[in-house]
Amino acid sequence: MLSVLEVKRKLPKDFIENLYKNYTPVMVDKILAGLNGKRNVTLRVNTLKYSINELMKYFKEINIKFERVPFFNEALIIKNQTEKQIQKLDIYEKGFIYLQSLPSMLPPLILNPKPGEKILDLTAAPGSKTTQIASLMENKGYILANELDKIRCKRLEYNINMQGVKIAEVSNKRGEIIGKLYEEQFDKVLLDAPCSGEGRFLANDAKTYRGYNKKQIMELSKLQKKLLKSANQAVKPNGEIVYSTCTLNLEENEEVLQFAIKELNLKLIDIKIKDKKIDLKNAMPAFSIEGQELLKKAIRILPNENYEGFFVAKFQKKLANTKKN
């Protein structure tokens, strides 16, 4: 394991400077400690094909050690296997399980899709959240899974088929235009936005932060706002939008929320899972900007051995907002 000082030296200078700009020194040390070393393998059971009880029984039989996940009964933290080892299992090859980070499982749970609803996954590849949404919907309803990149779109189609999803249609279009094409057609929209990926940095893995720079952050923030505008156009009045990133800076998180509230007239609402507030030891409220305390309804998850850094917020489209996008 590296020391915090060694982690600072390895990670991009701009990233470190931005951390100290936005967080206390104690919090920065906590974040950097969470970006040191490897993360445990985490997965969820595909309830369209298998059950958590069957999975736990099987893992016990083959001596795979695991822990339960407090906020999601269908997820496990694997203690003594690598991803490559899990991928060799028959249950993986059959689509009975899906390797997925724990924070990545939160947006679909917070979106709370119901059987029979019409859902838009605006930037869907590789399909982890699309397939989770389909499981939560019990394969009843409709999902439009959109992805711009053609290669990633193929991966999205593969995962949807492998997981036994029957209700998803794959679209290969720019996310910014989806709202105009499907104006006010969806009950709920998930926007897991393209981002700088700061929460996924690992100090000993240079490819996780290669190419990172401040200019990229500003370009991504502009794109995220355009995508959120599209999501707002696509969702029905009183419908809900979940916005998430796997990054830690304010430009791609709080500032995008501020744009949604001021420019799109979206209402930021409390984050809950099955009507219960999320209680994660390594989560904190979003920062307020210009005195906007309501931004604290969103949450930021700090990285550690089980979680990558993450940010998630939930909006509701006001009735007065309809037809004014």
Q: Which residues are catalytic?
A: 246
Whole-angstrom distance, CA of residue 96 vs CA of residue 50: 6
Q: Could you give the 3-state DSSP secondary structure of residue 266? A: strand
What six digits make up the tokens of 226?
């355009």
Nearest CA to 111 among 139, 79, 134?
Answer: 134
H-state helical runs in the chain: 4-10, 13-22, 25-34, 52-61, 83-87, 90-93, 102-111, 128-136, 150-162, 175-181, 214-234, 254-262
What is the sign, positive or negative, of the torsion defined by CA atoms of 316, 75, 161, 148? positive
- In terms of Cα–Cα distance, which of 179, 165, 208, 197 is closest to 120? 179
Please report, as a single letter, which amino acid is at residue 17.
Answer: E
| Number of neighbours of residue 65 by Cβ within 10 angstroms | 12
What b/e string do you get for 193-222 counting C-beta neighbours within 10 Å, with b at 16 or more? bbbbbbbbbbbeeeebbeebeeeebeebbe
Cα 86 to Cα 64: distance, rounded to the nearest angstrom: 10
34 beta partners: none
DSSP 178: H
Tokens describing residue 21: 């700009």
